[in-house]
Every structure is written in structure tokens, then in C-alpha cells.
Structure 1
Amino acid sequence: MAGKTFYLMLAAGAAFIVIGVASSVYSGVVVDVPLDNTVRPGLTDELSPDMEVGNTASLAVSGSTFDIEITDPEGEVLGNQTGISSFSYELTAQKAGEYRFVIENTGDEDLQITGRAQTKGNPLGVLAPLLLAVTGIIVVGLSLRFRNR
């Protein structure tokens, strides 16, 4: 019985380690995120992709009248239009950081937002996979108590 427990715990620990390491590698990969949304009259939508230099984003807004402002990570305004009913924008990040697209629906009908942005993973996102790998190491260590002697 102790021999079976040893092999089961060893396998589980190894699986935790492999999954944790693979997940931590993926957390640094640029991800293409959809920006699709509907904004009701009188409401504001703020999109804030965290981008690296060279990442791209595209945005199209249509429907009722609206105001839009696009800023870079340092707060510099890249685009600002008011009272429009159709808008499209292509962005290639020149600076690393969080870009902001603020869209305020000033009309009386819904706005349709479509687009996508390449965004980087959250630095804290690497923490959970590494904790999983550490758990795997602990389980492997505990399995050693059940091996046949």
C-alpha cells in the first residue's frame, strides 16, 4: 500500500511542477484581447490595455453620438473627438505601459465598440503558477515518506 501511495504522490507532484512551470512561461506571452462592448446612453466605457512597444490595437465605435479620448501611458493625448457618431483608430504602441481609450455615450442610443488589443500578462500572473510548482515540489518531498524501504 505504501508503494502505491508513493507513486501516486510522486506523479501528482510531478504534474503540479510541469503545469506550474508551463503556466509561468505562458504568463509572459502577449495576448490578443477583444475590445467588443455595448455602451448605453449616458454611460462611459474605459478600455486600458497594458501594451509593450510595438504591440497593436484597433478600435471602431459606431452608433449614437459620443466623445472619445485616447491617451498614452504618460497621459499624452493621442486622439480626442467630441460629438461624433463613427470612429476608427489603429494604434501601434510607441511607449510601454497602459494606454487608455475613454468613450462617453452622449447620445440617446447604444454604442457598439469593436476591436482588439495586444496586451501583456500581469506580472502578478506569474505568482500562481510558481506556487503550483512549489506545491508540486512539496508533494514530491512528502511522497518520499511513503516509498518502500
Structure 2
Amino acid sequence: MATPGSRRGMPDPPTARRRRRAGFSPDPARGRQFGLDDLRALLDSARMSQEQAQVLSRGGNWAVVQLAGRAFPGLHVQGDTFAALWTQLAEAARMLREDPGDGKALDDLDDAVREAEEFLRFYEAALAERGIQRPY
């Protein structure tokens, strides 16, 4: 699987696009300077809440977690693992836009699909072990 690297030439993740539209930019060349007031506003909007969660199963860089008040458990994926998967998908999409028959891009997509399938199988196994019906 590809590792996260330079984003140069790759599409920005949705969060970066939202922040840029709101005027946030750590790079003065791309917009106004990210200042202390911007940081305060960002932190205020991202305050953590104290919630209970039950970890149903852990494996590798992911876990199946049941949040209080939710009908079905969710899948928690470590940020670096998710970022690497996103990078791999974004790079494959870029390469396929340039050359729809690019064999390396197709191989990268196959790898990403296999990893997503691992997440899904792990999730399904955790639910089955506890007699929880899948939400799909």
C-alpha cells in the first residue's frame, strides 16, 4: 500500500477544501495567513465531547466500536492508515484520469479494495461474534 507523501498534484481532502473556503490557510501563498484568531475558531469548533464507547474488537490498525446511542457499531481506523488508503485511492484516480488503462493504477486500486475488504470482513466478524445483525 502506498504511504502518505507529498500532496503536490493530488486533490485536497474535503477538510482542507472546507478550511480553504472558510479562509483558513497555513500557507500564505494560497490565501491569507493562518492567525491566532483562526486557530481559536478552529479549536472552538472542534471541541471534544465526553462520550462512552465500547470496543467490541481490535485488530491491526482498526477496531469495531459501539458508540452510546447508536444502533450499530462503527469501524474505527487509525488516522495514518486511513490517510495512506486515501492517498493510494487519490493517486490511482489521478493516474486513471490521465491514462484509463494504467496498469499500476489498476493494481493500486485492487490493493485498496483488498484493504477495504479486510476492514469489512473484520467488522462483519466482530458483529457475528456478538450476534449483531449487519446494518446493510
The structure whose RCO (Cα within 8 Å, separation 6+) is larger is 1
Task: Return the TM-score normalized by structure 2.
Answer: 0.28
Task: Return the TM-score normalized by structure 1.
Answer: 0.26
- The structure with the largest helix share of the pair is 2
